[in-house]
């Protein structure tokens, strides 16, 4: 009977599908039977699929293995389930980007069900290990249900795991003093990723007086407190360490940061000078130089920036030469860098400075030619009224040339499973035309609404896409366009401003949680969001519509407060209205981006302003 079915499927797929698409269709049909609870039929079709298409890229990707395993699990064939679940390690290219927590698409589900199968087969040590792999130091909505189940199972055998469960999911810190150092660190990072670290820290401090001699825990805690703007708590923790005899010089770097951000620059310098080894020595030296620069003590800024050989130190040195009127040294430093890195953003900055010093229009023309994606391109355009002319990429011609290779992608996009399209597109290879290859990947990722991956794809070819008028918009896309239009119209906020903040804040990743504080597309923090919705939770902020709605409402407020000044509004959105109000403004009452005291703020604000004008110029509708 099985041979008859195999013959039927083989004839069907040969007559009605190409060899390339047939395996995808056969797998999709079997998977749909599994998802609909038709496990016996799914078993027949999965086994036929594996036998016929065993050498296909789909089978070799191991993506089907999870569904095959789970179908065997449902019908009680546990050894077959274990075989396929063990091999279901599917790692698409996008999981290899820096920043992704998962290395395997099925990681959480796979880990839990491996534990279940091992347990039912009597392999209790293996099961215990699998459940332990689900206890992570970060929050993920995909992970949470499996981690809770795993902790409950572990706690039924060992009450220690109930302490972890109580803290992570019930905010009960009663037994915090019974945790091991490694688990304290893990829970601290986890709660921080949910925006709950301060509650944990207060309980931690109360229980063990912050006298841990585990340097890794202390450094991790200081990093988190700094990101949460808890500078007094940072200093308190460091002082407790010193009073306990833990006088590591690295702690002075964090003490200096806390003082600097508490507006005590000279005290910060004294602490930075006490750092005596890497990796914090170089950071401390740069911080000292930058503080002196902000204080307009350029002689000291030059002295300290000369101690380092980095782009940031080079910028600080060159700006210090300029501001102290040492023009020969400024020109020598700037021109040398431009010659080495002509297309960099910093080269655009130096060209703008050279123009301001000499009024030679050639510097502006070179910005137009070489620094299209730089903040200073818009500065140059505003003066010269000249735009860089981009040629058109021959998309239609390329589509005709590669039509056979692209036919499969077109058919796959209609099967309803984005991962199948990703498996096929990951193996696309046009060795003579990587620009076209990236364009195809980007456009298909757009089509299946994996917008953050599409953004990553286009940015990977930023230099090439910047050469062509019809590829350039992929660097400044309008994903979530319907939602942006809806709330732009409701609150009278420019679409260009909303898109630019999404692009620079989250790169269109709706589930992004940054520094345990900023959530979703517009990277809103809970404190700001609660001004507009007292019942908001961080989970709700990961919903694109909720995030855009609240974010645009906040932009409306800032625009009103800053008299529709775009630069100040962007700065207020990133750093908060109160902090921005203390910054130096230029003679026109606008923000002076070159004098923003914090380098991360300066970089972000420049990037958003750049994107804002790109969106305005690209989309006139």
Locate 470 and state its tokens. Answer: 């019809």
Q: What is the pLDDT of residue 579?
A: 78
DSSP symbols for 224-282: HHHHTT-HHHHHHHHHHHHHTT---THHHHHHHHHHHHTT-HHHHHHHHTT--STTHHH
Compute the distance between CA of residue 133 and CA of residue 62 in angstroms, rounded to an integer: 21
Q: What is the pLDDT of residue 218?
A: 86
In three-state secondary structure terms, 56 is coil
In the chain, where the domains are located: 2-96, 395-475, 481-618
Compute the distance between CA of residue 373 and CA of residue 193 in angstroms, rounded to an integer: 32
Q: What is the pLDDT of residue 6?
A: 42
- H or E element, residue 398: helix 395-401
In three-state secondary structure terms, 519 is strand
Topology (CATH level 3) of domain 481-618: Lysozyme (1.10.530)
In three-state secondary structure terms, 121 is coil
CA dihedral of 413, 415, 416, 420, whole degrees rounded to 10: -70
Give the C-alpha distances (Å, rounded to integers) separating 355 from 90, 112, 358, 360, 366: 53, 62, 5, 5, 10
Q: Are 615 and 496 in contact (CB under 8 A)?
A: yes
Residue 274 burial (CB count, 10 A)? 13
Compute the distance between CA of residue 133 and CA of residue 131 in angstroms, rounded to an integer: 5
Mean pLDDT (10-residue bins), the chain, 621 residues: 42 42 95 97 97 94 97 97 96 76 88 98 97 92 94 96 94 89 86 81 69 75 84 93 89 96 94 93 96 94 95 92 94 94 90 93 95 92 93 95 86 88 83 89 89 94 95 98 97 97 97 86 94 93 97 97 92 86 75 78 91 93 69
Locate 372 and state its tokens. Answer: 């299209």
Long-range contacts formed by 608-611: CB under 8 A, 24+ apart: 608/500, 608/501, 608/504, 608/570, 608/574, 609/375, 609/378, 609/500, 609/566, 609/567, 609/570, 610/373, 610/374, 610/375, 610/377, 610/378, 610/500, 611/476, 611/499, 611/500, 611/503, 611/504
Q: What is the pLDDT of residue 212?
A: 56
């Amino acid at each position: 009977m099985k041979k008859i079915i195999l013959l039927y499927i083989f004839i069907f797929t040969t007559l009605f599908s190409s060899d390339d698409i047939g395996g995808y269709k056969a797998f999709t049909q079997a998977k749909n039977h599994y998802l609909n609870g038709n496990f016996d039929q799914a078993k027949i079709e999965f086994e036929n699929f594996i036998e016929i298409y065993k050498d296909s890229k789909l089978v070799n990707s191991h993506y089907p293995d999870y569904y095959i395993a789970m179908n065997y699990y449902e019908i009680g064939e546990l050894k077959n389930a274990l075989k396929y679940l063990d091999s279901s390690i599917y790692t698409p290219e996008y999981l290899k980007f820096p920043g992704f927590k998962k290395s395997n698409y099925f990681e959480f589900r796979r880990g839990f069900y491996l534990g279940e199968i091992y347990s039912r087969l009597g392999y209790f040590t293996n099961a215990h290990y699998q459940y332990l792999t689900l206890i992570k130091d970060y929050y993920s909505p995909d992970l949470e249900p499996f981690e809770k189940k795993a902790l409950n199972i572990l706690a039924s055998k060992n009450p220690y795991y109930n302490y972890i469960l109580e803290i992570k999911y019930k905010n009960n810190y009663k037994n915090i003093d019974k945790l091991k150092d490694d688990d304290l660190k893990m829970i601290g990072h986890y709660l921080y990723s949910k925006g709950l670290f301060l509650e944990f820290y207060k309980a931690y401090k109360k229980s063990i007086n912050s006298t841990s001699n585990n340097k890794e825990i202390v450094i991790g805690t200081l990093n988190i407190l700094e990101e949460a703007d808890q500078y007094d708590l940072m200093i308190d923790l460091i002082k407790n360490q010193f009073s306990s005899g833990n006088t590591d010089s690295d702690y002075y770097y964090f003490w200096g940061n806390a003082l600097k951000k508490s507006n005590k620059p000279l005290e910060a310098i004294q602490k930075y000078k006490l750092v005596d080894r890497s990796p914090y020595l170089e950071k401390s030296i740069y911080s000292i130089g930058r503080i002196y620069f902000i204080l307009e003590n350029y002689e000291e800024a030059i002295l300290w920036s000369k101690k380092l050989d980095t782009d940031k130190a080079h910028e600080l040195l060159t700006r210090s030469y300029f501001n102290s009127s040492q023009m020969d040294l400024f020109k020598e430093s700037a021109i040398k860098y431009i010659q080495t890195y002509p297309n960099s953003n910093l080269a655009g900055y130096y060209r703008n400075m050279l123009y301001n010093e000499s009024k030679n229009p050639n510097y502006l023309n070179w910005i137009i030619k070489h620094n299209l994606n730089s903040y200073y391109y818009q500065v140059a355009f505003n003066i010269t009224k000249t735009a860089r002319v981009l040629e058109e990429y021959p998309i239609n011609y390329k589509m005709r040339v590669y039509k056979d290779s692209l036919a499969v992608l077109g058919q796959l996009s209609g099967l309803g499973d984005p991962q199948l399209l990703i498996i096929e597109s990951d193996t696309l290879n046009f060795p003579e035309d990587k620009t076209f290859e990236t364009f195809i990947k980007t456009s298909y990722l757009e089509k299946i609404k994996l917008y953050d991956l599409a953004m990553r794809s286009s940015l990977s070819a930023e230099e090439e896409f910047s050469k062509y008028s019809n590829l350039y918009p992929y660097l400044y896309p309008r994903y979530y366009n319907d939602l942006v239009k809806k709330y732009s119209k409701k609150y009278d906020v420019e679409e260009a401003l909303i898109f630019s903040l999404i692009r620079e804040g989250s790169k269109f990743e709706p589930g992004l949680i940054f520094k345990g504080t900023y959530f979703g597309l517009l990277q809103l923090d809970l404190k700001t969001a609660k001004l507009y919705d007292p019942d908001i939770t961080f989970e709700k902020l990961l919903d694109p519509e909720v995030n855009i709605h609240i974010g645009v409402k906040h932009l409306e407020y800032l625009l009103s407060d800053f008299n529709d000044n775009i630069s100040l509004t962007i700065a207020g959105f990133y750093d908060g209205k109160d902090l921005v109000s203390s910054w130096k403004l230029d003679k026109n009452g606008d923000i002076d981006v070159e004098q923003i005291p914090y380098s991360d703020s300066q970089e972000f604000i420049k990037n958003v302003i750049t994107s804002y004008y790109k969106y305005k110029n690209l989309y006139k509708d």
